[in-house]
Amino acid sequence: MTLDLSLTRDLLTALLPELMLTGWALVLLVVVAWRHRTGGDLRVAGGIALAAFATTAAVVWWLWWNSAAAQGYAPMIAVDDFRFISDWLFLGTGALTVLLSMRYLEREALLAPEYYVLLLFSVLGMMLMGGGSDLMVVFLGLELMSVSVYVLAGINRKSPKAAEAALKYFLLGAFASAFLLYGIALVYGATGTTNLALIGAQVTSLHLEHGTLLLIGLALLLVGFAFKVAAVPFHMWAPDVYDGAPTPVTGFMATAVKAAAFAALFRVLGQAFATTVAWHQIVSALAVATMVGGNLVALAQRSLKRMLAYSSIAHAGYVLVAVAAGNASGSAAFLFYLVAYTLTTLAAFALLAVKGRGGESDVLIDDLSGLATERPWLAFALAVCMLSLLGFPGTAGFMGKWYILVAAAQSAQWWLAALLVLTSVVSAGYYLPVIMVMYMRPAPSAAAHADVRLGRLAGAAVTLAVVGLLFFGIRPNRLLDLSAAGAESLRTPTAAAVAPPGN
Amino acid sequence: MLLGPALAVSAVLFTIGVAGVLIRRNAIVIFMCVELMLNAVNLTFVALAQRLGVSGQIFVFFVMAVAAAEAAVGLAIILAIYRHRETVDLGKINLLKG
């Protein structure tokens, strides 16, 4: 199916997933305006959110199945496999987050069904980030996502910690957005356009590879994105915000928000700045700092939530290696790793949410002692997550790291490859103690884990994630093929890139 | 006409905003500095619009809408923290240790 995006009908078809989700979000907004008092209302809102994600995913699948492609003048929204795969990733993460949140919200007495509305809007923002082929669309998507997540981080109004987390996230997030926007303005000044394909064409035709204005703009763009993915040295907000936010929201932030920022970064660098070599070194340096910094500080953490926060910083470093590799296998590894990382981290935070009950008291790693005898399945799931984060063979995390390693080796980035292996070894120093404590220490008292219950929906979500992890760890081929196809669709320039900019 | 000076002024304004965010400790003042940064970018867009066509001016409307949404959410968050701590001084808001 070829879409001519200058026709309204075809444009609406291309935007159908986003329009669908917007419609659902508005419907849900009206519903919760009338029903927002009881736990039952919360469940209704959650059900509607799940239906929204399911139908939107079906529409994305329909476009994908018909191999929709755009033609004609450079569009503002991309119609390619990369967009469809990342849309599925965001929608899936959103749906899993809904499943994890249902019981959690009732347990913590957070009777705010607006939670699900904000979740829908933030996923909508992510879809625009993954699909936007214009810097302005990427920026608006990023803001839609960020503003929704600022509120989600502080949704627990009774908790001073959540308020503090929301404040820090908001101030630093807005600060980072301003950098990103200034970068967009300067790139616009240098090339006269904000369309990614046209920027790429202008850079080649005007020989702007070393133009000052363009390079400053690119650097500011990278700073903005580095803040959003929490790359060292722009990571200071992440541990505090992850610690203070409600645990399902933390899981959502550590996975979907990060994945969306990475998807946008990847598209911007790949389509607009493919011929500008300057960013390779900057991204490599960020990757080195992030891998080393994240892993070393994670070693010192006693609290499970903070440890996972630093671990998610370290994983951003591994993904940056795939971005820095800049070749075809790097792009495929990038998408594969995002899927593996998202499944693992979301499951880990879901398990943490059931343990950390009663007003978000800190869960120390030692608090898990003896979990394996009391709750063998929970302990098993958490152990699988830790092994996958570590990159143990047989899990999706291993395959992801392996592909990134191959990509780095192929582009002769030996330092990055060596550092990735070394820091992964270091990370065993904080992932394995969790497993050791669960399986080798006795529970402090018989009732220590008595109130640890996952609930049916969250249980289903965690089971799905863990089965997925093990499945992709043993049979990664199908997912890798999809990722490679998605990455390839970014590299083949569309017909639009040929059209001259309109100024 | 006057493109260079306009870009220079907006760069200076942006830098003042960055410096304010990094130096000041009052949440409201930091927020105002972020707004200053966004408006510096608006000035850049308007200045560039003389050369590059009307799209630069249209971007300004998007940025203003985004800044308004951020202001609404941001002030609500600052209000929420004031209710808990009775201060908006970031030096005294330290439950979470980075």
Fill in the DSSP letter of residue A132: B
Determine the average pLDDT of the residues in A119-132: 96
For A72-85, give the DSSP string.
SS--SB--SHHHHH
Q: Which range among A85-94, A320-329, A399-408 shows the weakest confidence by mean pLDDT?
A: A320-329
Contact list in A for residue B79 (CB cut-off 8 A) is none
- pLDDT class of A471 with cuts at 50, 70, 90: very high
CA distance B12 to chain A (A): 12
CB < 8 Å to B40, chain A:
182
Q: Do A188 and B95 touch (CB under 8 A)?
A: no
Strand partners, A134: A195
Surface-to-core class of residue A380, CB atoms within 10 Å of its CB (0-12 exposed, 13-18 middle, 19+ buried)? middle
Structural domain contains residue B48: yes
Closest residue on chain A to B43 (Cα): A185
Nearest-by-Cβ selection for A167 from B66, B78, B98? B78
Residues of B in contact with A177 (CB under 8 A): 66, 70
Q: What total of structural domains would you count in chain B?
A: 1
Q: Which residue from A140, A171, A192 is facing B27, i.e. has the nearest CB?
A: A171
> Which of A143, A166, A181 is closest, CB to CB, to B41?
A181
List pLDDT tens digits, range B47-68: 999 889 899 999 999 999 999 9
pLDDT in tens, A407-422: 999 998 899 999 999 9
Task: Tell me if the bond preceding A233 is cis, omega within 30° of 0.
Answer: yes
- Are B7 and A189 in contact (CB < 8 Å)? yes
Whether A331 shows a pLDDT value over 90: the answer reads no
CA distances from A206 to A456, A494, A498, A501 (A): 59, 20, 14, 12
Measured CA to CA, the distance from residue A166 to residue A172 in angstroms comes to 10
- Residue A363 has a pLDDT of 83
Contact A184, A176 (CB under 8 A): no
Q: Which of A145, A147, A164 to substitute to test the interface with B, most B CBs within 10 Å?
A: A164
More confident residue, A455 or B25: B25
Phi, psi of B26 (to 5 degrees): -85, 125
CB contacts of A168 in chain B (<8 Å) are 96
Cβ contact B98–A170 (<8 Å) = no
Nearest-angstrom CA–CA distance, A256 and A83:
14
Rg of chain B over Cα atoms, rounded to whole angstroms, equals 17
For residue A77, which of A127, A34, A43 has the smallest C-alpha distance? A127
Within 8 A of A166 by CB-CB distance, chain B residues are 77, 80-81
Contact predicate A235/A298, CB 8 Å: no
List CB contacts (< 8 A) between B76 and chain A.
Answer: 151
CATH classification of the domain holding B80: 1.10.287.3510
- Return the SS3 of A364: strand
List, for residues A89-124, the tens digit of each pLDDT value. 999 999 999 999 998 898 888 889 999 999 999 999
Read off the pLDDT band of A500 (50, 70, 90): very low
CB-nearest to B34 from A175, A188, A502 is: A175
Task: Kindly list the residues from chain B whose CB atom is less than 8 angstroms away from the CB atom of residue A165.
Answer: 96
Q: Scanning every residue of chain B, which has its alpha carbon at the shortest distance from the alpha carbon of A195? A: B55
Confidence of residue A472 (pLDDT cuts 50, 70, 90): very high
* Residue-level pLDDT at A259: 96
* Inter-chain touch B96–A240, beta carbons under 8 Å: yes
Cβ-nearest to B30 among A164, A165, A171 = A171
**Neighboring chain B residues of A236 at a CB cutoff of 8 Å:** 98
Considering Cα of A337, then A378, then A291, then A470, what sign does the dihedral take? Answer: negative
Secondary structure letter of residue A444 according to DSSP: S
User: Is A503 within the bounds of a domain?
Assistant: no
Q: How many domains does chain A have?
A: 1
| pLDDT at A496 exceeding the cut of 70 | no
| CB within 8 Å: B77 and A175 | no
**What does the pLDDT average to over A317-334?**
90
Distances (CA, A) of A181 to A12, A43, A69, B37: 27, 38, 29, 9
Report the percentage of chain A scoring pLDDT > 90. Answer: 68
Mean pLDDT (chain A, rounded):
90
B29 to chain A nearest CA, in Å? 11
Residue B59 structural domain: 3-85
Q: Are A63 and A79 in contact (CB under 8 A)?
A: yes
pLDDT at A299 over 70: yes
Is residue B91 included in any domain, yes or no?
Answer: no
* Bigger pLDDT: A3 vs A178: A178
pLDDT at A365 (0 to 100):
86
Q: Could you say which of A161, A174, A185 has the minimum Cβ distance to residue B70? A: A174
Domain that holds residue A251: 2-498
- Structure-block tokens of residue A3: 């879409």
- ipTM, two decimals, is 0.96
The per-residue DSSP string of A240-275 comes to HHHHHS-HHHHHHIIIIIHHHHHHHHHHIIIIISTT
Whose tokens are 């598209």? That residue is A267
- Is B35 among the domain residues? yes
Does A213 fall in a domain? Answer: yes
Q: Does residue B47 lie in a domain region?
A: yes
- Distance in angstroms (rounded) separating the CA atoms of residues A266 and A286: 15
Tokens of A348: 């880990």
Burial per residue of A274-288, b for 16 or more beta-carbon CB atoms within 10 angstroms, e otherwise: bebeebbeebbebbb
Does residue B24 form part of some domain? yes
Cα dihedral A501, B3, B8, B10, rounded to 10, equals -70
- Is the pLDDT at A450 greater than 80? The verdict is no
Distance to chain B for A151, nearest Cα, Å: 7
Provide the whole-model pTM.
Answer: 0.94
- pLDDT at residue A108, rounded to an integer: 84
Q: Would the pLDDT of B98 be above 60?
A: no
